[in-house]
A and B are shown apart, each in its own frame.
Chain A
């Protein structure tokens, strides 16, 4: 286990104090036909139902968004909750998805609330497309130095980082493709997944260019849907319907911006990982299943390195070896991930980790999974990242 200088000892008091007691989904579609407020309410109610709770048990709501979805101040009143004791409306995309659950876990551990639902609701295909086509340029002071050159969208930005990794370490399209093929095979076993038809490496290589070096099948889906998780105290979770999943560690990190990035092949996850593992008292060798933020194939490969599953530069060969397949050393994105299940900005990765640890993941269950790593976008573009280690109680 890596040692972490200056880690506050009080962080260790937080280990396993909070639990995830339920998960909820709406169907994943390309056009929900309803508002993000409706999607959010449905996912929140589904998560409470899964936990065996009702809205009257709820005293906290949290979400992350980029101005594209319903905040807790809409969802609370819509569900008749006039006086939430804790709420959080976190600005940000995939880099803060796990921070929201981490903050909810801290809130219940500190007694600010007892039962919080964290949700993310998006019409990310039919209304606000994250992929960048068909909407305006994101408002950031840094946009002015890129947008005039037609450089505006995440597929372009991550392709740029992916190429840097290919140039430095010899990472190949076939290695990216192996990841896409493996995750699609996982999705074939997931009734929720939007894309379940198997693909081959040839299909991957024949898929059309989006932004070289990325092809269509390097890119995640754009999805309408919502996903939610119930966070409560470990003590309360033990009295509820589902087997509790403990939050063993939650860590926040920094990252790099478009314009300041000392090494595009190293992400903020490399600095966050030692803190995260130390908080849980575990190391990468203890992780049974990993749900890694896969906005693009490359983001998984760089995280395999930065979370310590293989040496820097060997993420591509690690994937090509079959290590991330269901029967490999580290099953990754067992639900199919954003590439094939759907894109709900991080929360569906947490929910899948919970299913795996509860042992109710059906045909895609990793036998005996006890510890899971789930991660957010590893800190490119917006200098922020976050991750969770979850453990079966």
Chain B
């Protein structure tokens, strides 16, 4: 099970629905074309409301990582790594996830998203080295 289930809101619900379909989408401003994440009504660059979903390559680079040794969340007891990833497609944007590499991450390392289906309603996004072979659909077992 997930440590905590996300609580989608009126800005984010459609984003989570796309993740459940294994799609990494962000908003693209209809006026100036700026990509943004997380989902919000307004473009911070031109302050307009019109936008469309734009699927991006689920890729980024390792900015930092930690290994948690305390039970910071229900159901998590063993040391577990969390990575901070700078999305390639959305400048300035950082996202987080658990690490699916066989070895510790490296600074600046290119990574790709791993869609991890938790249950029928919930899919999460983890990260693995870009050079690794992505597991086939259904082989990503949630252990978070």
Contacts and interface: CB of A to CB of B under 8 A. Distances in A.
Interface of A: 132-133, 137, 141-153, 155-156, 159-161, 163-164, 167, 208-214, 258-262, 264
Contact of B98 (A150, A152, A164, A210): A150
Interface of B: 2-9, 11-12, 16, 37-38, 63-73, 76, 79-80, 82, 84, 92-98, 107, 122, 124, 126, 144
B144 A149 contact: yes
18 contacts: A133-B70, A141-B9, A143-B7, A144-B8, A144-B9, A146-B96, A147-B3, A148-B5, A148-B6, A148-B124, A160-B65, A160-B84, A211-B70, A212-B66, A212-B67, A213-B66, A260-B94, A264-B84
Q: Which residue, A148, A167, A208, has most C-beta atoms of chain B within 10 A?
A: A148
A150 B72 contact: yes
B144 A148 contact: yes
Nearest to B38: A259
A211 B67 contact: yes
A156 B3 contact: no
Contacts of A258: 94, 96
Contacts of A211: 66-70, 72
Per DSSP, chain B at the interface is: loop
A160 B92 CA distance: 16
A156 B68 contact: yes
Contact of B4 (A148, A164, A214, A262): A148
A145 B96 CA distance: 7
Contact of B37 (A149, A160, A259): A259
A151 B3 CA distance: 9
A261 B92 contact: yes
Contacts of A262: 92
Given A147-B3, A151-B68, A210-B68, 15 more contacts: A141-B9, A141-B12, A142-B38, A144-B12, A149-B3, A150-B4, A150-B76, A150-B82, A150-B98, A156-B66, A163-B64, A163-B65, A211-B67, A211-B68, A260-B93
Contact of A163 (B16, B66, B80, B124): B66
A139 to B, nearest CB: 9
A236 B3 CA distance: 54
Contact of B69 (A143, A163, A208): A208
A150 B38 contact: no
A263 to B, nearest CB: 9
Contacts, number: 120
A150 B93 CA distance: 20
Nearest to A139: B7
Contacts of A141: 9, 11-12, 38
Contact of B96 (A133, A151, A208): A151
Contacts of A151: 68, 72, 82, 96
A133 B72 contact: yes
B65 A209 contact: no
Given A149-B97, A212-B69, A167 B64 contact: yes
Contact of B72 (A156, A160, A264): A156
* The 7 A-B residue pairs with the shortest CB-CB distance in the complex, in nearest-first order: A144-B6, A150-B3, A147-B4, A164-B64, A212-B67, A150-B73, A209-B69
A258 B96 CA distance: 9
Contacts of B73: 147, 150, 152
A98 to B, nearest CB: 26
Contacts of A214: 66
Nearest to B107: A167
Contacts of B126: 149
B79 A209 contact: yes
A210 B65 contact: no
Q: Which residue, A137, A144, A167, has most C-beta atoms of chain B within 10 A?
A: A144
Contacts of B107: 167
A152 B76 CA distance: 12
Contact of B6 (A147, A156, A167, A208): A147
Contact of B124 (A149, A155, A209): A149
Contacts of B97: 149
A260 B93 CA distance: 5
A164 to B, nearest CB: 4
Nearest to A166: B64
A145 B79 contact: no
